[in-house]
């Protein structure tokens, strides 16, 4: 571009051209993906490191070994004590659902041939990654773009309470990771193909892991009942969903009867827990008297920065 001076001479004036919006978009996407991938790599590194170095609370691994030897009770102390186990007739059992132990059985079998012990944390990072991949798939199926879906999966994995579950391979958290994977797989199935038998199998596995989480099947049942389909088709879908759940429920009842002589006793009433927890349990596991205290702790009680007196002041 030129301007005309006082004497008629032309002077060249540089003009700053507007930046290409496409280049700005690519640059922003590059920075965004770089930050996301670096953060994901960092969090996954921490997850893998903790899972492969934490050795405590390996009840499902010990239970898998018992299953391999045809025993439903622990054959040895699953830690420094029998805490959190459920004693009966001189045997000690695990009150949580047995599926995580069943999942570990092939790994314990192979490890046992080499005289090694297979810890829960060796496989938990894989399940955590599968949870993130399933959340990503759900987001993509519901219309999210690639970048937004990746951020949603990252946010669920490392910006919610799931983070604490993912990094610690304790038995309770190992069970929750498996449950989370199964429930998200059911959500993905509902969003995509909606095969009733697949939903039934998934929630049957959930039932064998964490009983209360199996209530999620009510969403699937409601969707079937509200669909504009013939009642014969609805009935067939309900049977396809319910049959696997009923089969697993029957197996769990046999499992409970073999351990405690009661098909409806999972062992929580006998579980070895701290005295204050035992006092609360004595009120009744499902007692309404727990609600006011739980609401107070959840909504009003302030954190206690010093849970016990320092040893110097004791």
Q: Please state, for a pLDDT cut of 70, what percent of the chain lies above it.
A: 90
Predicted pLDDT at 305 = 74
Identify which of 40, 52, 306 has the alpha carbon closest to the alpha carbon of residue 155.
Answer: 40
Q: Is 144 exposed, middle or buried (0-12, 13-18, 19+ CB in 10 A)?
A: middle
Predicted pLDDT at 264 = 94
Contacts for 20-25 with beta carbons within 8 Å, 24 or more apart?
none
The pTM of this model reads 0.84
Predicted pLDDT at 171 = 95
Q: Summarize pLDDT for 133-171 with one digit per residue, the tens.
A: 999 999 999 999 998 999 999 999 988 999 999 999 999
Mean pLDDT of the chain: 89
Please count the helices (runs of H) and the strands (runs of E) in the chain: 12, 4
Residue 220, both tokens = 């699937």
> Are 66 and 75 within 8 A, CB to CB?
yes
Predicted pLDDT at 313 = 44
Round the CA-based radius of gyration of the chain to a whole number and report it. 27
CA geometry: angle 176, 177, 182, nearest 5 deg: 95
Q: Alpha helices, DSSP H only, in 69-216?
A: 99-113, 124-141, 146-158, 162-167, 171-191, 196-207
């Amino acid at each position: 571009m030129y301007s005309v001076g006082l004497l008629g001479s032309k002077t060249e004036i540089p003009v700053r051209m507007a930046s290409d919006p496409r280049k700005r978009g690519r640059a922003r996407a590059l920075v965004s993906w770089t930050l996301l991938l670096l953060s994901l790599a960092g969090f996954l590194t921490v997850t893998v490191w903790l899972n492969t170095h934490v050795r405590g609370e390996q009840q499902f691994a010990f239970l898998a070994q018992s299953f391999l030897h045809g025993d439903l009770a622990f054959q040895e102390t699953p830690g420094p004590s029998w805490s959190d186990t459920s004693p009966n007739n001189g045997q000690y059992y695990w009150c949580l659902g047995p599926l995580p132990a069943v999942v570990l059985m092939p790994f314990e079998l192979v490890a046992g041939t080499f005289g090694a012990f297979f810890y829960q944390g060796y496989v938990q990072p894989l399940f955590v990654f599968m949870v993130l991949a399933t959340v990503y798939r759900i987001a993509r199926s519901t219309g999210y773009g690639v970048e937004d879906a990746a951020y949603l999966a990252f946010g669920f994995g490392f910006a919610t309470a799931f983070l604490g579950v993912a990094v610690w391979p304790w038995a309770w958290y190992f069970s929750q990771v498996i449950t989370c994977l199964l429930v998200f797989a059911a959500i993905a199935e509902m969003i995509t193909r909606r095969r009733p038998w697949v939903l039934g199998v998934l929630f049957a596995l959930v039932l064998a892991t964490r009983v209360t989480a199996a209530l999620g099947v009510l969403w699937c049942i409601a969707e079937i009942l509200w669909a504009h389909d013939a009642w014969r088709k609805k009935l067939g879908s309900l049977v396809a969903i319910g049959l696997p759940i009923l089969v697993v429920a029957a197996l769990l009842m046999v499992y409970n009867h073999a351990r405690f002589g009661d098909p409806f006793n999972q062992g929580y009433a006998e579980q070895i827990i701290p005295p204050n927890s035992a006092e609360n349990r004595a009120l009744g596991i499902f007692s309404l008297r727990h609600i006011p205290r739980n609401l107070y702790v959840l909504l009003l009680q302030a954190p206690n920065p010093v849970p016990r007196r320092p040893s110097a002041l004791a």
